[in-house]
Amino acid sequence: MKKWTTVIAILLFSTFTTSPTWSQETKLPKDVRWVTDSAEYIGLCMQTYDLALAKIKIAAKKQTRPWAVVLDIDETVLNNVQYEVERVAEGQGFTSESWTGWVERREATAIPGVKKFLDNVRALGENAYVVFITNRDAPHEKATMDNLKKLGLWHERDVLLCRQSKSDTKEVRRREIMQASGRCAGLPRKNIIALFGDNLKDFYEVDASAGLENIRKNAMLDDRWGTQFFVLPNPMYGSWEREYK
């Protein structure tokens, strides 16, 4: 009896220690699980894009020159939750090397509702432009564009501005769009009528020295949310983790 008890114990131990994929998947953090599993995540994304389109149609009618909607890419246009799942399964966090590998794979999926939204924006006339501003580094530009094309999210008139250096902030690139300067030289000047992102810095420069309480207070008092600013849900990571520093 002792012999069989020992054998059974060994088999049970083996069962629970040689299935890392299964056991890791059942232990995904709630934030990652919410993005991968919840219908609410899908609903929020689609709701944001549908409501934004209605506002943009109204704003577009008031424009007398070229205008643009500006979108962040990661967790706004492209869904990278598979990267998060794989890092958890490996017991690892974010690294620049693993991120580069993920980007080069070109396997990010489309955020729910984004393709329909982009197609509808481009259909609003010759003055309508789509601009992607991402903090993916400049060497990732081709892989990023390939991923967008693969999903039917890219159009030949679109503009993609990756980050060239730490000083190349999103505010710098937004000015280039509006002034037709820098990388946008030779293109028409564009009024930015809507911004999309999952991070406060996708919308405006944040003064981290003001302190988290003031940053939150300023956001609460800003009347551009839902009219010019449209947020996509991302509970997995962001500047909020570092109090916007």
pLDDT tens per residue, range 145-195: 999 999 999 999 999 999 999 999 999 999 999 999 999 999 999 999 999
Contacts of 198 (CB under 8 A, 6+ apart): 72, 74, 75, 76, 231, 232, 233, 234, 238
Report the candidate in 174, 236, 162 with the shortest Cα–Cα distance to residue 201: 174
User: Which amino acid, one-letter code, is at 7?
Assistant: V
Can you give the pTM of this predicted structure?
A: 0.89
Q: What single DSSP character describes residue 196?
A: E
Q: What is the mean pLDDT of residues 38-42?
A: 98
Looking at residue 9, its pLDDT comes to: 38
Task: Give 191-214 pLDDT, tens digit per residue.
Answer: 999 999 999 999 999 999 999 999
Domain boundaries, the chain: 30-242
Rg (CA), the chain: 22
* Structure confidence at residue 18 as a pLDDT band (50, 70, 90): very low
Residues 243, 140: Cα–Cα separation, whole Å: 27
Note the pLDDT tens digit of each residue in 109-126: 999 999 999 999 999 999
CATH number for the domain whose boundaries are 30-242: 3.40.50.1000
